[in-house]
Structure 1
Amino acid sequence: MIPAYVPNSAAALFGGGTPIDLGRTFSDGRRVFGDGKTYRGFFGGVVSGVLVGLIEIWAATAFSLSALPQQTFLSVTLLATGALLGDLAKSFLKRRLGKDRGESWFLADQYDLVVGSFLLILIFDPQWLFGTITLPIAVWIVVMTPLLHRVVNIIGYYIGVKEVPW
């Protein structure tokens, strides 16, 4: 899951520039995603997640770290990309509900990356998903994701890459 946890933070770090929705609005008159979702942030986040995943693959092999999941280039790419696609989907839904950029949306803010990454893996590499995500790992993900999300967002807020600490 590490390749899925990295992209959102990296996107905030690399973000800025052209919004993915190019400033367009949806049929409800609201922005599709908003200014917070940019091409630079998206691609910077995905590349960062993939790089961390490749380091994880190398470390697992070089140091015989059998506790780490058996990642592949495909799995780390899908996890990283899916995390940000989940974030985009959540932003789309937030705009439809009239929520502003940065406005907290309990649970959706914490689990969008998990849902997005798991859906993408389910579509393109289901054998990795079902062979790797055991019940104890799934429980760990459910418990740790909101905690990690909160800690990382607070750090991002204090170092100035996030406008709000959630």
Structure 2
Amino acid sequence: MVPAYVPNSAAAALGGGTPVDLGKNWRDGRRILGDGKTYRGFILGVAAGIAVGVLQIVLREHFGWSLLPEHTLVTVTLLATGALLGDMAESFIKRRLGKESGEEWPLADQYDLVVGAFVLLILFQYAWVVRYVDLLVFFWILILTPLLHRAANIIGYLIGVKEVPW
């Protein structure tokens, strides 16, 4: 999951510029996504996730780190892209529910990246999911995701990248 965990933090730290929704509102009068979802953040976030995934591949294949999952460039790309698409989908739904950008939405804020990553993996690499994601792995993803999410957000808040610690 590391290639899916990195993109959100990287997007927050490296993003900015033109919003993905181009500042437009949905038919309900609210922003489609908000200013926090930018093209630069999406591109650099996905790139950071892919870079971490490639590092995992190199460490496993060339340095014998067999505890790392057997990734391919396709699986790390799907994990990284899916994480940010899941985050954007959650932002879209959040706006429709009248929640503001940055407003805390427990569970959805923490698991959006997992849902997005798994949707893409299941659609395009189903055999990989079946082979490498058993119940124990899925359990650990469910346990570690909110802990890592909270830690990353607190760090982002403390260094001034995020406006709120969630």
The TM tier, using the shorter chain, reads over 0.9
1:65 is displaced (CA, Å) by 1.4
- Which residue number corresponds to residue 146 of structure 1? 146
State the alpha-carbon separation in 2 of the partners of residues 147 and 93 from structure 1.
23
Mapping of 1:108-127 within 5 angstroms? 108-127=108-127
1:130 is displaced (CA, Å) by 1.1
Mapping of 1:58-77 within 5 angstroms? 58-77=58-77
Q: TM-score, normalised by structure 1?
A: 0.99
State the alpha-carbon separation in 2 of the partners of residues 78 and 91 from structure 1.
19
Aligned residue pair count: 166
The one-letter code of the counterpart of 1:165 is: P
Q: Which runs of 4+ in 1 moved over 6 A?
A: none
Mapping of 1:63-142 within 5 angstroms? 63-142=63-142
What per-residue deviation string (whole Å, max 9, x for no partner) do you get for residues 106-162 of structure 1? 100000000000000111111111111111110000000000000010001001111
- Which residue number corresponds to residue 29 of structure 2? 29
Percent of aligned pairs with the same amino acid: 62
The one-letter code of the counterpart of 2:91 is: S
The one-letter code of the counterpart of 1:69 is: P
State the alpha-carbon separation in 1 of the partners of residues 129 and 7 from structure 2.
19
Q: TM-score, normalised by structure 2?
A: 0.99
What per-residue deviation string (whole Å, max 9, x for no partner) do you get for residues 79-125 of structure 1? 00000000000000000000001000010000000000000011111
The one-letter code of the counterpart of 2:35 is: D
What per-residue deviation string (whole Å, max 9, x for no partner) do you get for residues 38-94 of structure 1? 000000100000000000000111221111110000000000000000000000000
Q: Secondary structure at the match of 1:142?
A: helix
| Long gaps (5+) in structure 2 | none
Q: Secondary structure at the match of 1:90?
A: helix
The one-letter code of the counterpart of 1:26 is: W
| Long gaps (5+) in structure 1 | none
RMSD of aligned alpha carbons? 0.6
The one-letter code of the counterpart of 1:13 is: A
State the alpha-carbon separation in 2 of the partners of residues 107 and 130 from structure 1.
25
